[in-house]
Amino acid sequence: MRFLFKTDYEDDIRLFPHSGYVFSYGTLLVLLVVAPFVLSSYLVSQLVFVCIYATVGVALLILTGFTGQASLGHAAFLAIGAYTAAYLQQFNVPFPVYFLVAGLLTGVVGALVGFPALRLQGIYLVIATISFAFIVEEILARWESVTRGNEGMRVKALQLLGTSISRDSPTFYFLCLAVLILTIVGTLNLLRSPTGRAFVAIRDSETAARSMGINVSLYKVKSFAISAAITGFAGVLFAHKLSFISPEMFTLQLSIEFIIVILIGGAFSLHGAVLGAIFIVMIDPFLTYLKDDLPGMIAGVAAALGAGSARAAHIQDSVAAFASANGLKGAIYGVIIVLFVLFEPLGLYGRWLKIKRFFQLFPLYKRATFKRQKIYVKSERNR
Amino acid sequence: MLDFVQQLVSGIALGCVYGLIALGFVLVYKATEVVNFAQGDLMMLGGFFAFTFIGILGLNYWIGFAGAVATMALFGMLAERVVVRPILGYPQFSIIMATIGLGYFLRSVAGMVWGTDDFKIETPFSQGVLRIGALVLAYDKLSVIAATIILCALLYLFFNKTTLGTAMRASSENMLAAYYMGIPVKRVVSIVWAISAAVATCAGVLLAPITFIHSNVGLVLGLKAFPAAVLGGFGSIPGAVVGGVLIGVIESMAGFYLAEGWKDVAPYIVLLAVLLLKPEGLFGLRMRKKV
């Protein structure tokens, strides 16, 4: 185990505390750069979605994970970013301009949502953000002169520096990756600045933060604006990747998916957003794969265990029927969420930390290190 | 004028359904501070059980109704035991996510078991109308209104007059203190979930003639009932019903008098406006933490 001796504040807030970080993140970066030339185009396309979801996940982490303000309305911010891009693109506005405009506009909307949210807490905030998302969805469907309503809008290929970047090209993947990395580095810098510390203070105790002289309202609005703006940037990429957007893509379902990203990844660290995004994006192809191959595998096992071939075929058929049943995906989704909340509330990144700590401290690891405290006294209504 | 009254009554009937689902939210919240996002899905499941008992097994309506309520009460206890009890005491956000997951699960399983079609339950009052002058009121809507008033009154009395109700309120204020006072907190929580699932089932069965039962009905109506509970101030039983009725009336008025598209959004706009002025809802209590 490596011990870090910190002698001044600079040591404490360093982005790369020691050379191991540089090595591991450098390797990861090299792998990600090589990826589009090695992997199949389908996987690269999934990686693009991972980048977009992870960007939104980071945005949501700033608001929910670090400022403690729950939001079930991030699909609306994504929609505003996507529609701004699609609308401005019609007038041949260059990509860098509408990319920035989309982010700024979404940030302003986020701040506007942040104002009413100032007085709301917990469950009231959740419902207020849901209401906001519904209203945005309805506006997108009704404001036909701008959004073309339920017909949806086509998004042309991205034009940058005089070349057209198709949504399946490696260049588009690099663009998304660059946005994700910039977002993560920017967020890391934000979190070690006074603003980020104020966010965390508000999350831990609003009253205490206020008595420390933090302008709670200002920082809450800031947090909303920053989170919304990042989501808006992701929205532009989302629109380009899908090349077609319509209001029914940005439903509550999508907002819940974003929350699941940070929940499954681990809502206490930026790693969580990335891991959660990988999980959410990859679960679909994985389930499809299981659906196609699992029945055969189970029949093989049954045959190996001595069941007759007719019986094995019967088992294969019934498993296949079960696996292709309508809505099985939703059930698996639900079970996964419940299992994570019950057994791994720190998410995938928490699991990784536990495994890492186990080997670092090998014979001395204690389960209680990561145990969360249950509080039966505090009532969330009294705060 | 006649149109107005007609819309008002159908809005109130719809609102009572929202109110009934919202009652379930409020009951669970009052006793455990858990916000149960799966409440709408419990209602859907209750409706499906009633449909199975009445429509498929051919039981008498009232027996089927009672059977569905009893089954769902047990199911509520089971859900509490498996999903909620292990995470009581953790931050509210984890519990919300767990119930969202439970909702996903119930919706999909119901879709797999009963299919994705719309189902209708034959009720003794699904036919026939009450005429007062030129006003025409369908019995199924009136039955919803009557049932809501009765259930609301019963629950209000239960919470404020019985020992068990007082125990529930105590454990919602402070579980640990309630436990020290000799209240069996775990059993209380379990019973609350049973009651709230039973109330949800009543909503589902009464609703069946009006909107039909399908696997997504819980999500659709749950998302309307939720603002109703918030509007009334989470944690207030009369508030939930008043909030539900307000949402229902606003929806039906907006659908009738305003342009298309306002119907679905109007309740949310009103909700946001109310939350801006009164962040704790219409009947909520403002509490402050001491540090």
pLDDT tens-digit series, residues B123-152: 776 666 777 777 777 777 788 888 888 888
Q: What residue in B sits closest to A129 (Cα-Cα)?
A: B272
What pLDDT is recorded for position B290? 46
Across the interface, whether the CB atoms of A342 and B106 are under 8 A apart is answered: no
Across the interface, whether the CB atoms of A205 and B223 are under 8 A apart is answered: no
Q: What residue in B sits closest to A329 (Cα-Cα)?
A: B108
Q: Is A112 a residue whose pLDDT tops 90?
A: no
What pLDDT is recorded for position A383? 43
Give the mean model confidence (pLDDT) for residues A230-241: 90
Number of residues in chain B: 291
Across the interface, whether the CB atoms of A376 and B215 are under 8 A apart is answered: no
Exposed/middle/buried for B7, CB within 10 Å: 0-12, 13-18, 19+? middle
Nearest to B101 among A119, A208, A338 (CB): A338
**In sequence order, which residues have a C-beta less than 8 Å from that of residue A11 and are 6 or more positions away?**
A4, A17
- Calculate Rg over the CA atoms of chain B: 19
Q: Is A285 a residue whose pLDDT tops 60?
A: yes
Q: Which of A253, A237, A250, A262 is nearest to A76 (CA)?
A: A250
According to DSSP, residue A5 is labeled: P
Tell me how far CA of residue B148 lies from CA of A225, B19, B152, B200, B243, in angstroms: 42, 8, 6, 11, 13
For the residues of A160-183, what is the DSSP string, one character each?
Answer: ETTEEE-TTSHHHHHHHHHHHHHH
What pLDDT is recorded for position A25? 87
B286 lies within 8 A of chain A by CB: no
State the nearest Cα–Cα gap between A338 and chain B, in angstroms: 5
State the nearest Cα–Cα gap between A135 and chain B, in angstroms: 6
Contact A256, A75 (CB under 8 A): no
Q: Is A382 a residue whose pLDDT tops 50?
A: no
State the nearest Cα–Cα gap between B63 and chain A, in angstroms: 31
Tell me how far CA of residue A267 lies from CA of A288, A345, A347, in angstroms: 28, 9, 7
What pLDDT is recorded for position A56? 92
Across the interface, whether the CB atoms of A342 and B276 are under 8 A apart is answered: no
Q: Which of B286, B85, B109 is nearest to B192 (CA)?
A: B85
- In 3-state terms, what secondary structure has residue A378? coil
Across the interface, whether the CB atoms of A126 and B235 are under 8 A apart is answered: no
Q: Is A324 a residue whose pLDDT tops 70?
A: no
Global confidence as pTM: 0.85
Give the mean model confidence (pLDDT) for residues A133-159: 79
CA angle B257, B260, B266 (to 5 degrees): 70
Q: Is A317 a residue whose pLDDT tops 60?
A: yes
ipTM exceeds 0.90: no
Contact A62, A199 (CB under 8 A): yes
Task: Count CB neighbours of B280 within 10 A.
Answer: 20
Query: What is the per-residue pLDDT across B154-197, written as a single tens digit (0 to 9) for each?
Result: 888 888 888 888 888 888 777 788 888 888 888 888 898 998 89
Task: Count CB neighbours of A148 within 10 A.
Answer: 19
Listed by number, the residues of chain A in 180-199 with a beta carbon closer than 8 Å to a beta carbon of chain B are none
- Rounded Cα–Cα distance for residues A315 and A203 (Å): 52
**Quick one: angle between helices A41-60 and A19-38, nearest 10?**
140
- Rounded Cα–Cα distance for residues B82 and A227 (Å): 35
- Rounded Cα–Cα distance for residues A35 and A22 (Å): 20
Across the interface, whether the CB atoms of A383 and B288 are under 8 A apart is answered: yes
How far does Cα B80 stand from its chain's mean position?
17
Structure tokens at B230: 């918030």
